[in-house]
Amino acid sequence: DEMDVDTIWMDGEFQDWDDAQVHVLTHGLHYGTGIFEGVRCYDTADGPAIFRWDAHLDRFYESAKPYEMDIEHDREELTEATMELIRRQDLESCYIRPVAFYGYNSLGVSPKDCPTQVAIACWPWGTYLGEDALQKGVEVMVSSWRKHSSSQIPTNAKTTGLYVNSMLAGEEARRNGYTEAIVLDKEGYVAEGPGENIFMVKDGELYTPALSQSILDGITRQSVIEVARDLGYTVHDQATISRGQLHTADELFFTGTAAEVTPIRQVDNVEIGSGTRGPVTEEIQQTFFDLVEDPSDEYADWFTYV
Ligand SMILES: Cc1[nH+]cc(COP(=O)(O)O)c(CN[C@@H](CCC(=O)O)C(=O)O)c1O
């Protein structure tokens, strides 16, 4: 059914979608000084539920800290606003985008007297990397652009300005006929995707780059680590993965709120394992989707019902 969205919460009020606007001299527009979240609400067996809302809220407030952004709305207000947005628009499942940014006052790199603005929008968002991506996997290339280093910018903060690096890498891949990129860190080790974390399967064990490797501490990454260990897998969650290991991996997959669990079937035209979704990837993907469809008691606290 056509779920149209028409409302955005902005600075404490619900506004019509088209009225939720900012001035062209907004600090965040000129200098990338915004922080944001990507969260999914799933239509579970017991109704719409937001996946790991508390962890996403934690990260939202943490991301603001390096930039001294003062988010003047507390967790309860942001939670209530989000629930109301979902209810008002009859969204059973949706993608939720909270954003905070330095607004309009004076221009100049220092945001000195610019207000911090906050907005939340929700919309239906299907499979992030294409319809058959979840089943068949995607073809990626290793980008010629490297990830910014955590010594140059807080890569653990989900900062809007960081995503020019993601756009450069992702668009380079798509210009070359691939669905997505894999981005190496400045030392040349595997970091993550433009909008996803990455996992490698080798000899039945899972590996994912260390948080020190200039990557975002993904909440889906955290969830997959826990679920995989509960399934009995050994998970090396502070791994260093070289580019060469990408080609000799048995399996590779992306994780992310938007990407969920997406298999990678080729890197730079080299087939990975069987050249399609691998068995470990399939088991973890299936467990993830079963979980968000019908939450089990074990992970009950990962779900905030609308
Ligand atoms: C750079 C990056 N790394 C890892 C992740 C995975 O994090 P998590 O969602 O907490 O598991 C994301 C999420 N990317 C968000 C934005 C996507 C977009 O296109 O915008 C997302 O998946 O919502 C990233 O942007």
Q: In the structure, how many helices (H) and strands (E) does the chain have?
A: 8, 17
pLDDT of 131: 80
3-state secondary structure of 145: coil
Mean pLDDT score, 13-35: 97
Handedness of CA 137, 148, 51, 37 (dihedral sign): negative
254-301 confidence digits (pLDDT tens) = 999 999 999 999 999 999 999 999 999 999 999 999 999 999 999 999
pLDDT the model gives residue 33: 98
Q: Whose CA is nearest to atom 4 of ligand 1?
A: 196
- Average confidence (pLDDT) over 222-231: 98
What is the CA(250)–ligand 1 centre distance, in A? 24
Distance from residue 113's CA to the centre of ligand 1 (Å): 30
> What pLDDT sits at residue 3?
57
pTM of the model: 0.97
**Rounded average pLDDT over 173-190:** 97
Q: What is the DSSP string of 211-252?
A: TTTT----HHHHHHHHHHHHTT--EEEEE---HHHHHH-SEE
User: Which residue has a Cα nearest atom 8 of ligand 1?
Assistant: 218
Percent of the chain exceeding pLDDT 90 equals: 95
Q: What is the mean pLDDT of residues 41-52?
A: 97
Mean pLDDT of 147-174: 96
Evaluate: CB of 257 within 6 angstroms of ligand 1: yes
CB 262 near ligand 1, within 6 Å: no
Q: If you measure from the C-alpha of residue 106 to the centroid of ligand 1, how many angstroms do you get, rounded to a whole number?
A: 31
Cα of first residue to Cα of last residue in the chain, in angstroms, is 20
Catalytic residue among 65, 136, 147, 158: 158
Ramachandran angles phi, psi of 163, nearest 5°: -80, 0
| pLDDT given at position 1 | 39
pLDDT at 151 over 60: yes
Q: Both tokens of residue 216? A: 């975002």
